[in-house]
Copies of this chain bind each other. A is one copy, B any other.
Amino acid sequence: MQTISSTDIDGMERFYRANLVNSLTGFKSVSLIGTANAAGKTNLGIFSSIVHIGSNPALVGYINRPIKAAPHTLANIEATGTYTINHIHPEFLPQAQQTSAKYDESISEFEAVGLTPQYLEDIAAPFVLESKVKYALTLQQIIPISLNDTFLVIGKITSIHLEKNILNQDGFLNLDQVPSLSCNGTGTYYLANAIADLPYAKPNQ
A60 to chain B, nearest CB (A): 6
Residues in B whose Cβ lies below 8 Å from that of A171: 12, 15-20, 23
- Interchain CB contact under 8 A, A190 and B176: yes
- Tell me if A167 counts as interface (CB < 8 A to partner B): yes
**Bound CA span A106–B140, Å:** 38
- Interchain CB contact under 8 A, B198 and A94: yes
Residues in B whose Cβ lies below 8 Å from that of A63: 51-53, 61
The total of chain A residues at the interface (CB under 8 A) is: 107
Q: How many copies are assembled?
A: 2
- Tell me if A160 counts as interface (CB < 8 A to partner B): yes
Interface of A is mostly: mixed
A residues 50-107 with Cβ under 8 Å of B?
50-61, 63, 87, 90, 93-94, 97-104, 107
- Interchain CB contact under 8 A, B182 and A26: yes
A residues 165-179 with Cβ under 8 Å of B?
167-168, 170-173, 175-176
- Tell me if A42 counts as interface (CB < 8 A to partner B): no
- Interchain CB contact under 8 A, A56 and B147: no
Sorted nearest first, the 9 A-B pairs with minimum C-beta distance are: A26-B29, A19-B171, A16-B171, A190-B192, A20-B171, A27-B182, A101-B201, A4-B160, A23-B173
